[in-house]
């Protein structure tokens, strides 16, 4: 038996294409498990989380370690829903090859396009597995045409199916020119290539060989001259073509029946690149920022990348990392170069779903779990203390969906805050913030399902529940013209009274200027020691504006006259006078409400562009322009934040989940008059509540 090699394969696809079933089949048919886990029966080894079993969808990226013919395959079962894209991106950083599952009935779907784009972004070799070919209306050749149509890469089948739908029973290996029928437990039995497939076998074998040999002039000449080329040479050339991303092979099978699963695992160890077959990884010296290389070799200095963190209220933090170079032992001291601190490793484990198998040493290419690291988080680099290196962080998308939360029960605030903070540690696409203006706790996620899962975990893991609501919008108040006001505060109730009189002028400031207070007093009509009290009164009134109790902005206030009493005047009297005079002047100065407006960038297939633009217009959006990007269009717009609270849901509905978007704060703009009264009424209701 040859020396063990490792293959790290990311299983990605549109939701429902059968990634989890495929990974479960690999575990079962390789002998790693004694039963075939099922998503439908809620006994999947990889979909172990209660939220996954309840919803019957993958939420977490789980690792399926498989021993096959003396080699190790680490298959990363990734979620298919866009809400959990953070898990996909994290797992792909730990994988070497992307295996894209495509359903034999539905073919290329929205998620197929998205995950193909992730593989492009990560510059990953990839292959396609056409799954569920035993289903009614499944058609391998239709899927092949779709893949060739949608994606520009060179596509070539490595296998062809024998039979279709309920008669699908085997595959033809086009490189080895062998056919296999799959018996019980997915075991292949070699058979003759069916005579009625001779023409298509010859056609697609020629297509495969053309793609393989054209990379090598010597092989190409031998092939064109009809010379016999050794099978091992062809296999090596195919492996190089996949590693260099010159070729995307198509494989086929059915994860549920086991047809083709063994052949898939054969193809992985025969043709997919192992870590050592790929270019050395590059990082930086954390002190000098000099670029360094680390080949995936056990003799190199140890380095690893933390791609996932799991939080548990009892066990604490569990960190999953990929060993990129060198080797590491349990109970050793290492450097976290991202944080600049040393960490003590405890017992190392190999993860399998939610199971942890203890190991004493891990070498380059292995996937490892370790509990209770003190400061290490997702994206950190771990390395040898004597040979520091730091790898680039994972780039996660910004969350686009938000809700406000408040405790369901009094006294749970601290437990909720702790729980949400711990959940944010394990999910880089989930964020928690306290909005100081609206005094709300805001949760940010990738969509409604994402937030729902987070809140279910909060209840299950930390025993607390929350009530959700749309976040309040942080409106502002300002003025459009100049106005003046005079206010005298006079109070006599026995003993020393209160007296303060001010005359102020308010005028609008330019956009971007918050507040300016000007002292224009001449002749001492307001003594110097009371002028700060006037400003303080104005500022306090600005915190809750006169129109709807929103903060005031873009206002200049000039104190130009007033009066005082030598005995009864005080700082408090002038503070009250300043506050009341400001409110009077403000209401005379054509007050308006301002609302936050967002820069919105929407990426949609061209056929949905009209519907998306129409929806943005209905949301009071202003379309700035469009630009093409591949098969899609990028729509640029400015849209009020008040109209964007459910846009993640709306866009998915309009585009059948093909649209994505990003937002960023742009500016504050005047609220249209027809919308103002509704905002004032809501503000008054909130104040009463």
Q: What is the pLDDT of residue 186?
A: 74
* CA–CA separation, 150 and 127 (whole Å): 15
Q: What is the pLDDT of residue 10?
A: 96
- How far CA 70 is from CA of 2, 6, 29, 466, in Å, comes to 7, 10, 15, 50
> Which pLDDT band, with edges at 50, 70 and 90, does 491 fall under?
confident
User: What CATH number belongs to 477-589?
Assistant: 3.30.230.10
Q: Partners of 358 in the beta sheet?
A: 349
Per the structure block, which two tokens stand in for 145?
């045409």
Provide the whole-model pTM. 0.85
Query: Can you give the pLDDT at residue 435?
Result: 87
CATH architecture of 281-383: Beta Barrel (2.40)
Q: Copy the structure tokens of residue 637.
A: 């717009």
Determine the pLDDT at residue 2: 47
Confidence (pLDDT) at 87: 94
Sign, CA dihedral 190-193-194-195, equals negative
Q: Which two tokens stand for residue 282?
A: 């590059």
Measure Cα distances from 442 to 231, 451, 649 in Å.
60, 11, 18
User: Contact at 8 Å (CB) between 477 and 593?
Assistant: yes
What pLDDT score does 495 carry?
A: 64
Cβ–Cβ < 8 Å for 171, 130: no
Q: What is the mean pLDDT of the chain?
A: 91
Query: What is the rounded average pLDDT of the residues 185-207?
Result: 91
Q: Percentage of the chain with pLDDT > 70?
A: 98
pLDDT for 485 beyond 90: yes
Encode pLDDT of 255-269 as tens digits. Answer: 999 999 999 999 999
- Residue listed under structure tokens 């990884």: 281
What pLDDT does residue 610 have? 94
Residue 494 has a pLDDT of: 63
Superfamily of domain 6-276: P-loop containing nucleotide triphosphate hydrolases (3.40.50.300)
| String of DSSP letters for 324-352 | EESEEETT-EEEETTTTEEEE---EEEEE
DSSP letter (8 states) at residue 432: E
Alpha carbon 101 to its chain's center: 20
CA distance linking residue 541 with residue 62, whole number of Å: 55
Q: Are 96 and 5 in contact (CB under 8 A)?
A: no
Q: In this predicted model, what pLDDT tens digit does every residue of 384-434 receive, in sequence order? A: 999 999 999 999 988 889 999 999 888 888 899 999 998 998 899 999 999
Q: What is the mean pLDDT of residues 50-61?
A: 84
pLDDT band at 1 (very low <50, low <70, confident <90, very high): very low
The string of pLDDT tens digits covering residues 342-372 is 999 999 999 887 788 899 999 999 999 999 8
Q: Where are the domains of the chain?
A: 6-276, 281-383, 401-469, 477-589, 594-688
pLDDT tens figures, 56-106: 888 889 999 999 999 999 999 999 888 899 999 999 999 999 999 999 999
Question: For residue 193, what are the CA distances in angstroms to 177, 198, 295?
Answer: 8, 8, 42
Q: Are 74 and 61 a contacting pair, CB within 8 Å?
A: no
The answer to whether the 6-276 and 401-469 domains have the same CATH topology is no
| Whole-number pLDDT of residue 314 | 62
Average pLDDT over residues 589-604: 94
* E-only strand ranges, 138-233: 155-157, 159-162, 170-173, 178-182, 188-191
Rounded Cα distance, 227 and 218, in Å: 11
> What is the CATH T-level fold of the domain 594-688, as seen in this structure?
Alpha-Beta Plaits (3.30.70)
* Architecture of the 401-469 domain: 2-Layer Sandwich (3.30)
CA distance 126 to 124: 6
Q: Which of 109, 211, 214, 200 is nearest to 160 (CA)?
A: 200
Q: Average of pLDDT values for 600-627?
A: 94
Q: Is the confidence at residue 40, as pLDDT, over 80?
A: no
What's the pLDDT band for 3 if we cut at 50, 70, 90?
A: low
User: pLDDT by residue (tens digit) across 122-156?
Assistant: 999 999 999 999 999 999 999 999 999 999 899 99
Q: List pLDDT tens digits, range 428-478.
A: 999 999 988 888 899 999 989 999 999 999 998 889 999 999 999 999 999
Per-residue model confidence (pLDDT) at position 232: 84
| Cα dihedral 558, 562, 565, 570 in deg (nearest 10) | -20
- Each residue of 314-328: b (16+ CB within 10 Å) or e? eeebbbbbbbbbbbb
- Both structure tokens of 674: 């027809």
- Number of Cβ within a 10 Å radius of residue 149: 10
Alpha-carbon 539 to chain mean position: 41
pLDDT of residue 553: 94
* Cα 633 off chain centre by: 21
The pLDDT of residue 47 is: 81
């Amino acid at each position: 038996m040859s020396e063990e090699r490792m293959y790290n394969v990311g299983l990605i696809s549109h939701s429902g294409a059968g990634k989890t079933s495929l990974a479960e089949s690999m575990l079962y048919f390789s002998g790693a498990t004694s039963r075939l886990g099922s998503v439908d029966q809620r006994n999947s080894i990889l979909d172990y989380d209660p939220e996954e079993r309840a919803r019957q969808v993958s939420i977490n990226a789980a690792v399926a370690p498989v021993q096959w013919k003396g080699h190790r395959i680490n298959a990363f079962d990734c979620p298919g829903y866009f809400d959990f894209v953070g898990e996909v991106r994290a797992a792909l950083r730990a994988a070497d090859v992307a295996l894209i599952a495509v359903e034999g009935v539905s073919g290329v779907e929205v998620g197929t396009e998205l995950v193909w784009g992730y593989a492009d972004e990560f510059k990953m070799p990839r292959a396609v597995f056409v799954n569920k070919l035993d289903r009614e209306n499944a058609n391998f050749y239709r899927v092949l045409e779709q893949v060739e149509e949608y994606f520009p890469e060179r596509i070539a089948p490595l296998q062809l199916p024998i039979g279709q739908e309920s008669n699908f029973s085997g595959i033809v290996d086009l490189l080895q020119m062998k056919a296999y029928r799959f018996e019980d437990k997915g075991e292949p039995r070699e058979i003759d290539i069916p005579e009625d497939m001779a023409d298509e076998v010859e056609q697609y074998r020629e297509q495969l060989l053309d793609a393989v040999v054209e990379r090598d002039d010597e092989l190409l000449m031998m092939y064109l001259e009809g010379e016999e080329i050794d099978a091992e040479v062809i296999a090596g050339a195919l492996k190089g073509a996949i590693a260099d991303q010159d070729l995307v092979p198509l494989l086929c099978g059915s994860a549920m029946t086991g047809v083709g699963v063994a052949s898939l695992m054969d193809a992985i160890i025969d043709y997919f690149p192992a870590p050592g077959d790929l270019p050395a990884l590059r990082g930086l010296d954390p002190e000098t920022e000099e670029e360094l290389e680390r080949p995936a070799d056990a003799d190199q200095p140890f380095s690893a990348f933390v791609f996932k963190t799991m939080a548990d209220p009892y066990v604490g933090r569990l960190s999953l990392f990929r060993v990129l170079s060198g080797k590491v032992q349990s109970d050793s001291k290492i450097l976290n170069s991202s944080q600049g601190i040393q960490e003590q490793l405890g017992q190392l484990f190999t993860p399998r779903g939610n199971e942890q198998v203890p190991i004493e040493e891990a070498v380059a290419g292995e996937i490892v779990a370790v509990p209770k690291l003190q400061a290490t988080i997702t994206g950190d680099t771990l390395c040898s203390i004597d040979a520091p290196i730091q790898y680039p962080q994972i780039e996660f998308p910004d969350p686009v969906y938000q809700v406000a939360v408040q405790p369901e029960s009094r006294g749970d605030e601290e437990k909720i805050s702790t729980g949400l903070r711990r959940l944010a540690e394990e999910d880089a696409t989930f964020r928690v913030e306290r909005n100081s203006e609206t005094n709300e706790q805001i949760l940010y996620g990738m969509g409604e399902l994402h937030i729902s899962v987070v809140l279910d975990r909060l209840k299950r893991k930390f025993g607390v529940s929350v009530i959700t609501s749309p976040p309040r919008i942080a409106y502002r108040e300002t003025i459009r013209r100049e106005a003046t006001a005079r206010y005298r505060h006079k109070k006599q109730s026995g003993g020393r009274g209160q007296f303060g009189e001010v005359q102020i002028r308010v005028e609008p400031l330019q956009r971007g200027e918050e507040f300016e207070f000007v002292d224009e007093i001449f002749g001492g009509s307001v003594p110097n020691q009371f002028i700060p009290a006037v400003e303080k009164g104005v500022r306090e009134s600005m915190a809750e504006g006169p129109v709807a109790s929103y903060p005031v902005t873009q206002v200049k206030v000039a104190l130009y006259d007033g009066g005082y009493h030598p005995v009864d005047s005080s700082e408090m009297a002038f503070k009250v006078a300043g506050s009341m005079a400001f409110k009077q002047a403000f209401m005379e100065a054509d007050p308006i409400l301002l609302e936050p407006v967002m820069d919105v960038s929407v990426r949609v297939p061209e056929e949905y562009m009209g519907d998306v633009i129409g929806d943005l217009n209905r949301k009071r959006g202003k379309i700035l322009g469009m630009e093409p990007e591949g098969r899609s269009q990028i729509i640029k717009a400015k849209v009020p934040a008040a109209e964007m609270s459910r846009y993640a849901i709306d866009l998915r509905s309009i585009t059948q989940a093909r649209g994505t978007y990003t937002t960023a704060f742009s500016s504050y703009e005047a609220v249209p008059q027809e919308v103002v009264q509704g905002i004032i009424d809501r503000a008054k209701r909130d104040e009463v509540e």
